[in-house]
Chain A
């Protein structure tokens, strides 16, 4: 059981470069999301998706793009990296029961440094 798989685990970028963080889940979960984790700020929601073809913005969406072409994959794109995007990024998925009590299954995280 792979669960939620994130790649790469570590990445260093220069300001202005673009890259994609990959996220795949094998649990047939409807809901997927991306969070960033910064010291003293918990996890903040970047973008989320309630199913293939449907995405929406979270709390801190600026500078990030997402798409959801399949149930399994939910990549996060940084179009022009900035030092403020240095963070640890977590992808998560859950069954979409719509009760507000869904359990999130997280990936192991991707640590991004922008120089």
Chain B
């Protein structure tokens, strides 16, 4: 069974601060996805990374896939209250179609 350890579980910061969320595993994944979930809604994809060492940027969000494809990180620069939500990492392996392994999630609260 593949496991993804996501940390921290909770993050409460002030507007303008930077933060990093980590997603670690002892298993190799063929892809790593990050989702964001708002209360009362389903998760929505932010990004997919598939190559070891890959870095993707989405405005103030930077996503990195580890060289060995066992870990990933999400860095938010100058967080805003609109960034508040649940962030989930999810790993896909081989021909797993949509059979993803999810981390526990990080609840981010950005205070004005």
Chain A residues with CB under 8 Å of chain B are 4, 30-33, 35, 40-45, 48, 50, 58-59, 90, 92-94, 96-104, 106-109
A109 touches B41 (CB 8 A): yes
A99 touches B45 (CB 8 A): no
Report the minimal beta-carbon distance from A38 to chain B, rounded to whole angstroms. Answer: 10
Report if B110 contacts A (CB, 8 A). Answer: no
B97 touches A50 (CB 8 A): yes
- In the assembled complex, 21 residue pairs joining A and B whose CB atoms fall closer than 8 Å, in A order, are A4-B42, A30-B97, A32-B98, A33-B98, A35-B102, A41-B104, A42-B88, A42-B104, A43-B88, A48-B97, A48-B99, A50-B97, A94-B98, A97-B97, A100-B30, A101-B30, A101-B48, A102-B92, A103-B48, A104-B98, A107-B42
A99 touches B41 (CB 8 A): no
| Chain B interface, DSSP helix/strand/loop, else mixed | loop
With A42-B105, A45-B99, A92-B42 as known contacts, state yes or no: A100 contacts B33, CB within 8 Å.
no
Residue of A nearest to B89 (CB): A42
Task: A100-B97, A103-B48 given; name 12 further pairs at CB < 8 Å.
Answer: A42-B103, A43-B102, A48-B97, A48-B98, A48-B99, A58-B99, A90-B42, A99-B30, A99-B31, A99-B92, A100-B92, A108-B41
A72 to B97, CA, bound (A): 17
Contacts of B99 in A (CB 8 A): 33, 45, 48, 58
Contacts of A48 in B (CB 8 A): 97-99
Contacts of B104 in A (CB 8 A): 40-42
A30 to B42, CA, bound (A): 19
| Chain A interface, DSSP helix/strand/loop, else mixed | loop
Contacts of A41 in B (CB 8 A): 104
Residue of B nearest to A107 (CB): B42
A106 touches B43 (CB 8 A): yes
Task: Give me the 4 closest cross-chain CB pairs, A-B, nearest first.
Answer: A106-B42, A100-B92, A101-B31, A100-B30
Contacts of A42 in B (CB 8 A): 4, 6, 88, 102-105
A41 to B90, CA, bound (A): 13
